[in-house]
């Protein structure tokens, strides 16, 4: 008996323990089932249904995501694009927008949960697609330009684009205002007349690209010629290596293109003295052949005449040069520079910001000159252009596109 008892105890002990723990586990399981049933019975919350789409315009193949969550379980009833069915499954969907017209598209979905009430959710999302290249048009004003003039290239595009391009092989710098862009090119007065190629490439924010090829005709302009007699001390400077080095140095400066234009409206004449020598006058020095054209406009100013900034800009050079004498140069942005030569005194320093009417200097007779005068020059992408044209007409600048 004792032995049996002992055995009984040995057997029953673990059984009682197992039974007690079994009952203990059963009650919470029932409770859990009941509360789940109650949740199923009472649930009035529709599933969380979301269509995730890119938040910017798209092109080509694009992935959208259909997401559903609901504690009672769920099913997607339908998923549509522009009213046409897509697979009614959650997860990623790849849509080829090249098969759709450009524009706004509507994605819509409906899902139902598995609660007693069958709660339903419906959502919509929109997708803007564009797969066609932007349409470009040149402003008619861009079709011809005179020798020594400033060419304005104006482009309109069907959507905002980043424009790049070349004119006669030279890179252009475009300024854009939405769907309108412009670039300036200086035409050397010695350029042979005739057509020149303009090649433009436009890329919209989606990477859709289009090209425009056109011809711009350079028209002849009848500029006068004049003989200049320089004293022996300075005449040697004109064709010298000193002058060549000076030109190379200035060309390197003019090649720096700051991105934004600084002016709005026409430039103001830097002095009110009469004109002594026009822009692009053919020059023969001391009886020689005409080898160059005057790169600026000379004003007949006595030494000491105040010289004023014609437009806002940054002073980029204040320096005595061998041929050009004491020089001041302003950067007006997008490759437009104005230059003041043969000065007697400078009143600004490099890096200084100037505005219209800031006194830059006093005119003088320094460098290779026949007498006191102010030489005023405007460079556009490195080429000297008619400076007076900049005082007579507005070129596109910081203001609104006209």
Nearer to Zn ion, 115 or 330 (CB): 330
Cβ contact 234:369 at 8 Å: yes
For 235-253, b/e burial (b = at least 16 CB within 10 A) is bebbeeeebeebeeebeee
Residue 379 contacts Zn ion per CB under 5 A: no
Residue 283 contacts Zn ion per CB under 5 A: no
The three-class DSSP label of residue 237 is: helix
CB atoms within 10 A of CB 234: 15
Nearer to Zn ion, 105 or 375 (CB): 375
Per-residue binder mask for Zn ion (CB under 5 A), 169-208, x = binder: ----------------------------------------
CB of 374 to Zn ion, least distance (A): 8
Exposure of 134 by Cβ count < 10 A (0-12 exposed, 13-18 middle, 19+ buried)?
buried
CB of 327 to Zn ion, least distance (A): 12
Contacts of 11 (CB under 8 A, 6+ apart): none
Nearer to Zn ion, 111 or 343 (CB): 343
* Stretch near Zn ion under the rule CB under 5 A, chosen from 97-105, 212-220, 267-275, 369-377: 369-377
Residue with tokens 């980029």: 316
Residue 113 contacts Zn ion per CB under 5 A: no
Cβ contact 229:252 at 8 Å: no
CB of 160 to Zn ion, least distance (A): 42
Residue 324 contacts Zn ion per CB under 5 A: no
Residue 375 contacts Zn ion per CB under 5 A: yes
CB of 383 to Zn ion, least distance (A): 16
Q: How many CA atoms lie within 13 A of 89 on its CB side?
A: 5
Contacts of 381 (CB under 8 A, 6+ apart): 170, 173, 184, 185, 186, 254, 257, 335
Per-residue binder mask for Zn ion (CB under 5 A), 287-316, x = binder: ---------x-x------------------
Nearer to Zn ion, 208 or 363 (CB): 363
CB of 326 to Zn ion, least distance (A): 14
Say how many Å lie between the first and final Cα of the chain, rounded: 116
Nearer to Zn ion, 296 or 372 (CB): 296
Cβ contact 26:13 at 8 Å: no
Nearer to Zn ion, 153 or 346 (CB): 346
Cβ contact 328:289 at 8 Å: no
The whole-angstrom separation of Cα 350 and Cα 230 is 31
Per-residue binder mask for Zn ion (CB under 5 A), 223-252, x = binder: ------------------------------
* Stretch near Zn ion under the rule CB under 5 A, chosen from 108-116, 167-175, 316-324, 372-380: 372-380
Residue 386 contacts Zn ion per CB under 5 A: no
Residues of the shown chain interacting with Zn ion in the complex, contacts defined by CB under 5 A: 296, 298, 375
């Amino acid at each position: 008996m004792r032995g049996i008892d002992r055995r009984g105890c040995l057997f029953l002990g673990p059984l009682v323990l197992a039974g007690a723990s079994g009952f203990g586990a059963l009650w919470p399981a029932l409770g859990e089932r009941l509360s789940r049933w109650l949740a199923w019975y009472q649930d009035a919350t529709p599933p969380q249904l979301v269509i995730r789409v890119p938040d910017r315009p798209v092109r080509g193949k694009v992935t959208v995501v259909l997401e559903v969550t609901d504690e009672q379980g769920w099913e997607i009833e339908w998923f549509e694009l522009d009213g046409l069915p897509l697979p009614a499954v959650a997860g990623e969907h790849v849509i080829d927008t090249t098969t759709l017209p450009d524009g706004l598209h509507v994605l819509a979905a409906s899902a139902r949960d598995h609660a007693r009430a069958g709660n339903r959710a419906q959502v919509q999302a929109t997708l803007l697609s564009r797969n066609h290249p932007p349409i470009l048009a040149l402003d008619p004003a861009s079709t011809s330009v005179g020798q020594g003039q400033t060419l304005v290239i104006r482009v309109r595009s069907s959507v905002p684009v980043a424009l790049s391009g070349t004119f006669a092989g030279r890179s252009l710098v475009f300024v854009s205002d939405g769907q309108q862009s412009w670039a300036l090119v200086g035409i050397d007065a010695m350029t042979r007349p005739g057509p020149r190629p303009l090649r433009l490439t436009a890329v919209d924010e989606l990477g859709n690209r289009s090209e425009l090829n056109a011809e711009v005709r350079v028209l002849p302009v009848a500029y006068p010629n004049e003989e200049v007699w320089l004293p022996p001390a300075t005449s040697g400077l004109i064709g010298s290596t000193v002058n060549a080095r000076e030109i190379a140095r200035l060309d390197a400066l003019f090649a720096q293109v700051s991105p934004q234009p600084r002016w709005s409206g026409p430039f103001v004449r830097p002095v009110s003295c009469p004109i002594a020598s026009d822009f692009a006058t053919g020059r023969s020095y001391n009886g020689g052949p005409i080898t160059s054209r005057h790169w600026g406009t000379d004003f007949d100013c006595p030494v000491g005449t105040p010289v004023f900034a014609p437009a806002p800009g940054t002073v980029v050079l204040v320096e005595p040069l061998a041929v050009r004498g004491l020089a001041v140069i302003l950067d007006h942005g997008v490759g437009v520079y104005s230059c003041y030569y043969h000065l007697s005194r400078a009143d600004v320093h490099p890096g200084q910001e100037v505005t219209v009417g800031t006194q830059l200097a006093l005119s003088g007779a320094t460098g290779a000159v026949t007498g006191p005068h102010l030489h005023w020059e405007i460079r556009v992408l490195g080429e000297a252009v008619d400076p007076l044209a900049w005082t007579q007409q507005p070129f596109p600048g910081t203001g609104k596109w006209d």
